[in-house]
């Protein structure tokens, strides 16, 4: 039940995030957050949901980031749920966070089945699993789309490399510098 509730929550969150980004109605509320602490704080929840996986987390130094905490949480949970739900035979997930010049780099690596080269270009296509609820056993195909849009919104990008039968590596860069203009609506005070 916990796994199904987690999947449904992720699907609904992703639909809401993507729609809000498209119609520019997303309330963007950046604050300074300790990204290292935020990620570490979610590790126990992920381990509880997926007890059979070895999940390692490393952040050699605190990484402070000017970001919307709810959106960053969505990005992180999407990346982890992709490993847990889509990477068949995955036994290990490594998450690391480093500072590199003016960027925070979030690395998520798994030892799952990987993605074939001819399917890798489709991973950011929305609704690639179909949109009927009965076809969403593996999700709606929105998680990576939402994660990439969130990374872009935070002055970064999301890159993915995968090798079939070896695993997948995702790299998300996020700007450490507060940007002059928020591209979306600010919350009303």
pLDDT tens figures, 160-172: 999 888 899 999 9
Strand partners, 109: 94, 169
How far is CA 127 from its chain centroid?
A: 17
Cβ atoms within 10 Å, residue 175: 16
pLDDT of residue 66: 93
How far is CA 137 from its chain centroid?
A: 19
Closest by alpha carbon to 46, among 95, 118, 88, 86? Answer: 95
**pTM confidence score:** 0.78
pLDDT of residue 182: 47
Residues of the chain with pLDDT under 70: 1-4, 6-7, 10, 125-141, 179-189
pLDDT of residue 3: 59
pLDDT of residue 2: 65
């Amino acid at each position: 039940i916990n796994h199904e509730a987690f999947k449904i929550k992720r699907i609904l969150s992703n639909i809401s995030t993507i729609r809000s980004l498209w119609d520019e109605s997303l309330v963007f509320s950046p604050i300074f957050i300790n990204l290292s602490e935020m990620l570490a704080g979610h590790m126990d929840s992920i381990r509880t949901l997926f007890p059979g996986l070895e999940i390692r987390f490393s952040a050699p130094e605190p990484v402070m980031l000017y970001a919307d905490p709810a959106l960053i949480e969505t990005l992180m949970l999407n990346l982890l749920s992709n490993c847990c739900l889509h990477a068949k035979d995955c036994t290990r997930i490594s998450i690391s966070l480093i500072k590199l010049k003016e960027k925070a780099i979030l690395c998520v690596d798994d030892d799952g089945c990987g993605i074939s080269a001819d399917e890798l270009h489709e991973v950011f296509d929305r609704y690639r699993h179909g949109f009927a609820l009965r076809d969403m056993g593996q999700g709606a195909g929105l998680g990576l789309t939402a994660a990439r849009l969130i990374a872009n919104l935070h002055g970064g990008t999301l890159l993915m490399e995968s090798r079939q039968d070896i695993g997948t590596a995702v790299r998300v860069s996020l700007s450490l510098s507060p940007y002059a203009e928020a591209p979306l609506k600010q919350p009303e005070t």
